[in-house]
């Protein structure tokens, strides 16, 4: 009888241990869900998500001039979106081909540098790769990935398949994804930004604003793709050929 009682006590102790272990495991999993596992939006805003990325920027301009103010002979059909920039990022190095020209952005000896193709008066197709500090010439890529990584998911509200910034955070979201200056917010109205996420990565950003004085609406489309495309910096002082946006 003593042996049987001892066995029952041991078996009860095993069940209690298993129960405690299950509770601890459930608690640990809950902590993981709450504090470790990131939402798709949180993951999409992390800097490591943009280690290898390409961003294609297109713009569409709509003329909203009232019909009574338009000359029928000069009315033009609605224009299709046109490409204004192609950006590639490989680690800390960014190459951007836009309407301003061709630029490489990279850190060197603790400084933010730019290597741009100097084509003189801008009418030539060839130029010389010239190095400068970004701060000295005011150069910056169209998307500020460091600023994107500082954005708070709490400031973005779900709207269907999109995320939109709260009014109080619109400015910093716009500046992170588009590089807009402070003065631009004073010159335009109806400023809007929408972000779509796919597989924990930013898929597309849509940015729009209007110029009420001239009845124009501007819509920018930033399409993000993620491919392993290495970037090699050209040699400073070497001759280069201006890449076309077409």
| DSSP annotation string for 209-228 | EEETTTTEEEEEEEEEE---
Condensed to tens digits (0 to 9), the pLDDT of residues 46-77 reads: 999 999 999 999 999 999 888 766 665 555 55
Residue 171's pLDDT is what? 97
Residue 225's pLDDT is what? 97
Condensed to tens digits (0 to 9), the pLDDT of residues 144-188 reads: 999 999 999 999 999 999 999 999 999 999 999 999 999 899 999
CA atoms within 13 A on the CB side of 233: 18
Gap between the terminal Cα atoms of the chain = 91
pTM: 0.80
With contact defined as beta carbons under 8 Å apart, do 216 and 187 qualify? no
Q: Which residue bears the tokens 């489309």? A: 221
| C-alpha dist (Å) from residue 115 to 27, 80, 93, 135, 238 | 53, 32, 11, 13, 11
């Amino acid at each position: 009888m003593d042996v049987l009682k001892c066995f029952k006590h041991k078996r009860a102790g095993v069940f209690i241990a298993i129960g405690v272990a299950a509770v601890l495991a459930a608690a640990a999993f809950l902590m993981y869900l709450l504090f470790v596992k990131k939402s798709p939006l949180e993951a999409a805003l992390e800097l490591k998500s943009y280690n290898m990325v390409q961003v294609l920027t297109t713009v569409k301009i709509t003329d909203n001039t009232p019909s009574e103010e338009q000359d029928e002979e000069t009315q033009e059909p609605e224009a299709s979106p046109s490409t204004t920039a192609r950006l590639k990022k490989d680690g800390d190095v960014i190459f951007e081909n836009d309407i301003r020209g061709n630029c490489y952005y990279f850190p060197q000896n603790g400084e933010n540098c730019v290597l741009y193709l100097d084509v003189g008066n801008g009418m030539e197709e060839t130029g010389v790769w010239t190095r400068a500090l970004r701060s000295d010439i005011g150069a910056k890529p169209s998307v500020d990935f460091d600023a994107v990584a500082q954005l708070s998911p709490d400031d973005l509200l779900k709207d269907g398949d999109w995320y939109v910034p709260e009014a109080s955070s619109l400015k910093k979201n716009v500046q992170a994804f588009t590089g807009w200056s402070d003065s631009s917010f004073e010159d335009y109205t109806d400023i809007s930004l929408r972000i779509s996420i796919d597989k924990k990565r930013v898929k597309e950003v849509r940015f729009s604003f209007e110029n009420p004085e001239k009845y124009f609406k501007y819509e920018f489309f930033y399409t993000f793709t993620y491919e392993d495309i290495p970037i090699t910096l050209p040699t400073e002082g070497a001759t280069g050929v201006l890449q076309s946006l077409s």
